Amino acid sequence: MAPRFGMVAGEASGDLLAGLLLGGLRQRWPDLQAFGIGGPAMARHGFEAWWPHDKLAVRGYVEVLSHYRELLGIRNQLGERLLKERPDVFIGVDAPDFNLELETRLKATGVKTVHFVSPSIWAWRGKRIEKIRKAADEVLCIFPFEPPIYAKQGIPATYVGHPLADTIPLEVPRAAARAALGLAEGDTVVALLPGSRRSEIQYIAPRLFDAAAQMQALRPGLRYLLPVVPGLRHLVEPLRKLHAEQVAVELLDGRSHELLAACDVTLVASGTATLEAALFKRPMVICYAMHALSWQMMKRMKYQPWVGLPNILLRDFAVPELIQGDATPERLAHAALAWLDDAPRCAALHSRFEALHRELRCDTARTATDAIEKLLAR
């Protein structure tokens, strides 16, 4: 019989990863059932969403606390429903603060559990590995250095590569993307990617709009485009009018991959989007900002100097990172313009990102499905 999967993916990036995984699972088991929390990418593969994925799109201690009751209520209700449904496997996709507790509860009752995307125990909060031990029967790792960390602790883990490395072509379809977006041949395009969470829109989007205004004053004629996650345009539009009324920032409905393929440089919030930008071989300036108290708490738990995924994977400040107080509009603008003025530096970065892209290609959907099939057979 076709297996039944419970799944939870939070926010746009988790939905994208879960959708790619679900596509691989359905190739193996065309009649599978999948249900839980997810978004449009999962829905395209027949996923039944009991709650929408953006309910979990919260980051930062202070921000999470303000939504704690709602999130706790959702997790409790979801747990009860999953215990009644008894899926063959539960797959928690990223969102560790939500998923690990849920996985622990399900695993204790005999439901097999998978955590897809290892929490960043190598970057901060390393003690979470004990929580992962109680929560997951299998960890699917997207970076090659992660399984040895789990092996030392006796936790089953499989390197499956990063699904985005399979999805995004090695040769960037730049001309096609620019044509699809209606860009002229001579347009120099700046992509603004403030993130997909409401808190990111609140803290980061104003800085990016202000940076665009600074760049416009220093170099008129650049084009600015910002992809908006479905359902968040009503938050972004007022900020554009407040911070960049004199700058023609075009808001796109999604289409972030087309924009990354087409742009000349991107100002991008730290997160999955930075890896996407690297896979599209784009020069970037990574930025992040959050509530001051959340930042102070997170800063104390960092294990390494980098924040952005491209820099973490390359073990180098290959691209600038401007975080919290350093993420001023002036610094963001000057760092972005510096890329536009340095073609050799851009070419060297392109070569490093191409090598990284090849390393992360591992046919993730098939490899992850193989690991889940082995777990089903245990």
What HEC string does 279-334 produce? HCCCCEEEEECCCHHHHHHHHCCECCCCCCHHHHHHCCCCCCEEEHHHCCHHHHHH
Q: What backbone torsions phi and psi does residue 27 show, to the nearest 5 degrees?
A: -65, -40
| 267 bridge partner residues | 192, 285
Token pair of 119, please?
A: 């929490």
Distance CA 356, CA 59 (A): 27
H/E segment holding residue 38: strand 33-38
Give me the residue label for tokens 């990172």. 321
Residues 223-234 have pLDDT tens digits of 999 999 888 899
Token pair of 89, please?
A: 């496997």
Give the number of other CB atoms < 10 A from CB of residue 122: 15
pLDDT surpassing 50 at residue 61: no
Q: What backbone torsions phi and psi does residue 36 show, to the nearest 5 degrees?
A: 140, -125
pLDDT value of position 192: 98
For the segment 352-378, the average pLDDT, to the nearest whole number, is 95
Could you tell me which of 313, 371, 369 has the C-alpha nearest to residue 34? 369
Give me the residue label for tokens 């509530």. 291
3-state secondary structure of 97: helix
What DSSP line would sit under 187-204, residue for residue? --EEEEE--SSHHHHHHT
Instruction: pLDDT band for 62, please (50, 70, 90 cuts).
Output: very low
Distance CA 30, CA 47 (A): 12
**Residues of the chain above pLDDT 90, percent:** 75
Residues 119-161 have pLDDT tens digits of 888 766 778 899 999 999 999 999 998 999 999 999 999 999 9
The chain-wide mean pLDDT, for the chain, equals 91
- In this prediction the pTM is 0.80
3-state secondary structure of 154: coil
Residues 320-361 have pLDDT tens digits of 999 988 999 999 999 999 999 999 999 999 999 999 999 999
Lowest mean pLDDT: which of 47-51, 68-72, 186-190?
68-72
CB 95 within 8 A of CB 10: yes
Distance CA 178, CA 187 (A): 9
Give the number of other CB atoms < 10 A from CB of residue 267: 28
With vertex at residue 226, the alpha carbon angle to CA 221 and CA 228, rounded to the nearest 5 degrees, is 160
**Residues of the chain above pLDDT 70, percent:** 93
Lowest mean pLDDT: which of 83-87, 162-166, 205-209, 365-369?
162-166
For the segment 25-51, the average pLDDT, to the nearest whole number, is 95
pLDDT value of position 124: 65
Task: Return the higher-pLDDT residue of 76 and 163.
Answer: 76
